[in-house]
A and B are shown apart, each in its own frame.
Chain A
Amino acid sequence: MKPAESTVSPPSAESGEVGLVEPHDFHHRAPFTFDSGQTLPGFTLRYETYGQLNATRDNTVLICHALSGDHHCAGLHPGDRKPGWWNNIIGPGKAVDTRRFFVVCANVLGGCVGSTGPSSTNPETGRPYGVAFPFVTIRDMVRSQKLLLDHLGVVSLYATIGGSMGGMMVLQWGIEFPQFTRRMLAMATTARESAQAIAFNEVGRQAIMQDPAWNHGDYPRDGGPRVGLAIARMMAHITYLSDASMDRKFGRRKKETADRTAYTFDMQFEVESYLRHQGESFINRFDANSYLYITRALDHFDLAAAHGSLEQAFAAVEAETLVVGFTSDWLFPCEQNRAVTLALLRAGKRASYAELSMDLGHDSFLLESPQLYDLVRGFLERDQPYVFDFAI
């Protein structure tokens, strides 16, 4: 990865880096009513922006993050070695070109990376909300981010882009704010989770809630169900990969240090070590209650049930849509991405569906792929109109 100094040198014509970035906090100081009917006296959303809002205030691209993502999707924080989670697609000259677009990304309501969530202090008790925090839906996340965009002076969204849970939010944007949302780009997503996806979420939640340290959601900020959360993450991480990619990355290789022949339950295979590392690093950055709340929001998301049918859900949509499925994604498989596109088309909307053959599973949308970059750039920037030669 390029060093942070790239902000100092002018970005090349082809592509460059966002460079050093810093998060901001938006404080909404009025009551907010959740879909559940519960309310908060106000909330905070932590967000980042890259590029400049234009004079007509209509060049905003909103990035929506996935379950474990956050507002830091591009550029570097001072002292960090790793850039934001979607740095490969966002930047000057990149597929989401920050020389042209004002890119905004916020940590979702209910999250734990600066936005108000169950780990925030409940002003009534002076302690973290825990499970007293209101239930959050995808629609709540979208409505709260609309308040942020209003605050930033954005008059309409040029596009909203997201994968997985971010893709659900994208669809919700088009439904909730049809005149505001001009383009939707949803990847590796679904209009409603399958029983299998809900089942995986439930195993993760049970791992957390069965950990005695969860204590009905009441735990200190530096404590909590670390074992349960790590197990939840280890299992979930498997669902983001594919059989083929795990086989290529780890195969049956064993750790150098492992006694290759010993009959033991100690860590022997590289894949075990990798998953443990995933679990370990997750507990240091994520709150267990947030994990419960956000996975529940995913499970509850059901556009067909909420509107009578998927076609009715999309009836108000005015945006043009691009849905991208990935052949090896078995969490939100191609079939579910196709269903979204087909329902939009049946509702008479402008919608495209493209499918990429990448064997990296659900997380494919995050990985480097020139084909994906071209597709995203093409959707956002469009060729100038073709001129037909009538002289034949």
Chain B
Amino acid sequence: MTKLIEKRTVDMRIIGEWVEPGTRVLDLGCGRGVLLDYLVQTKQVAATGVDLDFAKISACVRRGVSAYQGDMVTFMRTFAEKHFDRVICSRTVHELNDPAEVILEALRVGRSVTVGFVNHAFWKNRVDALLRGRKARNAVYTTDWFESRPTNPVSIADFEHFCATKGITITRRAHLGGDWKSPCHTRPNFFAGYALYDLAK
């Protein structure tokens, strides 16, 4: 039998460190359920994912991760306050129509909310835009503009400004360099390629 192998990325590892064992976790835009599977295996969480795509849900079911096909805001609205210990929105926030609505609803149904996103103000992205004059491409923004869904690029400065305006408490943050692996401690809005935030309200 061939082994089914998934790569653990650094942002997965950090989220895993933030998650308390045995808690109830919701992943918004769960995809094929890789992150939730990792959290089930390492932290024994009670995992639920939400995604719009049938094939993604089918993949989650195949790996034993509970997943719900449908709109994430409509889904969350049917749950009581703080039903989940943690709501995760990883590599998804740039695709949301109304990010504030999603994050605020997540803060209602979750005790804490983890958001992970590509920092669009990373210096290479700025140089790309300035010198090459082209759309950013990376592991999250994988496609050319003509194959892309409408996206809503966000920077670290944008996100922190959003949290301040909405009265959201940032309880933890992690910034990763351009390789999305090594920690970035200086001027993250310029030097960090990837950002993770843990929020509460």
Chain A residues in contact with chain B, CB under 8 A? 320, 322, 338, 341-342, 345-346, 348, 350-357, 371, 374-375, 378-379, 382-390, 392
Contacts and interface: CB of A to CB of B under 8 A. Distances in A.
Contact of B4 (A345, A353, A374, A386): A386
Dominant SS among interface residues on chain A = mixed
Contact of B41 (A374, A388, A392): A388
B162 interface: no
B37 interface: yes
A338 B70 contact: yes
Interface stretch (B72-80, B123-131, B168-176, B187-195): B72-80
Nearest to B65: A352
B46 A348 contact: yes
B8 A387 contact: no
A355 B51 CA distance: 11
Nearest to A346: B79
Contact of A388 (B38, B62, B78): B38
Given A386-B5, A392-B9, 6 more contacts: A338-B68, A348-B24, A354-B61, A385-B4, A388-B5, A389-B5
B23 interface: no
B144 to A, nearest CB: 27
A320 B9 CA distance: 29
B61 A322 contact: yes
B115 to A, nearest CB: 22
Interface of B: 1, 3-10, 24, 34, 37-38, 41-42, 46, 48, 54-55, 57-64, 66-70, 75, 78-80, 83, 181
Give the most central of B4, B54, B63, B80: most A CB within 10 Å: B54
Contacts of A392: 7-10, 181
Contacts of A371: 54-55, 58
A12 B67 CA distance: 33
Contacts of B1: 384
Given A342-B75, A346-B80, A378-B62, A387 B6 contact: yes
B66 A346 contact: no
Contacts of B7: 388-389, 392
B83 to A, nearest CB: 7
B61 A378 contact: yes
Contacts of A348: 24, 46
Contacts of B48: 345
A387 B3 contact: yes
A290 to B, nearest CB: 35
The 9 closest A-B pairs by CB, nearest first: A378-B62, A354-B57, A386-B4, A388-B8, A353-B68, A355-B69, A350-B66, A375-B58, A386-B6
Given A374-B58, A378-B62, A384-B4, A355 B70 contact: yes
Nearest to B67: A352
18 contacts: A338-B70, A346-B78, A346-B79, A352-B66, A353-B67, A354-B54, A354-B67, A371-B58, A374-B62, A375-B61, A378-B62, A379-B62, A382-B62, A382-B64, A385-B41, A386-B4, A387-B5, A387-B6
A338 B67 CA distance: 12
Given A352-B57, A387-B5, A345 B66 contact: yes
Contacts of A390: 8
Contacts of B80: 346
A387 B75 contact: no
Contacts of B61: 322, 352, 354, 375, 378-379
Nearest to A321: B66
A346 B48 CA distance: 11
